[in-house]
Amino acid sequence: MRIDVVSIFPQLFEPFFAESMVGIARDQGLAKLVAHDLRQWTDDRHRTVDDAPYGGGPGMVMKPEPLVAAVEALAGERGPQRKARVVLLTPQGRRLDQTRLQALAGEEHLVLVCGRYEGVDQRAIELAVDEEISIGDYVLSGGEVPAMVLIEGVLRLLPGALGNPESSEQESFQQGLLEGPQYTRPARFRDRDVPEVLRSGDHRAIAQWREERSKEITRRRRPDLLRHAEEESS
């Protein structure tokens, strides 16, 4: 998979692309990741990417010309012949979830557009963007962190990626539920013991205990997830 990012802060992505699971996916050749500076597609002396909003109001809006030029250079014109999927990260977008990540992980080429300021000129969105996505109902200052969230979520789903279970029955069983508590050594820490069952060696009992804890924490903290999980398994 190839992922191009368009941003006025492309340097934010370099350490993210270099480290951890994302860095390993890149090193393994699972993904080609490139962050582009939107100002590359300006042609004025000041490399201007923003302008005042028509109708007045606070802040600035991202100009359409550099953004559309960037997206068309990376993805081609919008339409049926376009090979890439162009995603704008924006609070107005559809909320990102695991189902959407799975669909995006099936794409050959993603172009992620990161807004800043008060947002993006509507005509640029209509002309160049295939899909608008939000990562959740809270306010950030731009699309860069949302793009990183999307990239990490997508890359770990690629076959051969770290954290992608080849054929994990456990993960498919626990689909859509929260994980229960986890423990590592030492067996006793500050007078607190690891639950006996986890040290018993009884794999059936361990699996059952984990299933119970998983359902319990999901019911207590995210009953909405439990309803979805029941629909999936029925």
Residue with Cβ nearer ligand JD8 (91 or 180): 91
Residue 94 backbone phi and psi in degrees, to 5: -70, 140
Binding mask 186-225 vs ligand JD8 (x if CB under 6 A, - otherwise)? ----------------------------------------
Structure tokens at 195: 């639950």
Q: Is 141 in the site for ligand JD8 (CB under 6 A)?
A: yes
Report the C-alpha gap between 7 and 111 in whole angstroms. 11
Choices 113-121, 122-130, 168-176, 194-202 (CB under 6 A): range interacting with ligand JD8: 113-121
**Do 210 and 178 touch, CB atoms closer than 8 A?**
no
Burial level of 132, CB count in 10 A (0-12/13-18/19+)? middle
Q: How many residues bind ligand JD8 (CB under 6 A)?
A: 19
| Smallest distance, ligand JD8 to C-beta of residue 139, A | 5
53 lies in the binding site for ligand JD8 (CB under 6 A): no
C-alpha distances out from residue 146 to 7, 111, 154, 164, 183, Å: 12, 13, 12, 21, 31
Please report which helix (H) or strand (E) contains residue 65, including its range: helix 64-75
CB of 114 or CB of 229, closer to ligand JD8: 114
Q: Does residue 149 contact residue 124 with C-beta atoms inside 8 Å?
A: no
Q: Is 7 in the site for ligand JD8 (CB under 6 A)?
A: no
Minimum gap (Å) between residue 190 Cβ and ligand JD8: 38
Shortest spacing between CB 223 and ligand JD8, in angstroms: 23
Q: Name the residue nearer to ligand JD8 (CB basis): 50 or 211.
A: 50
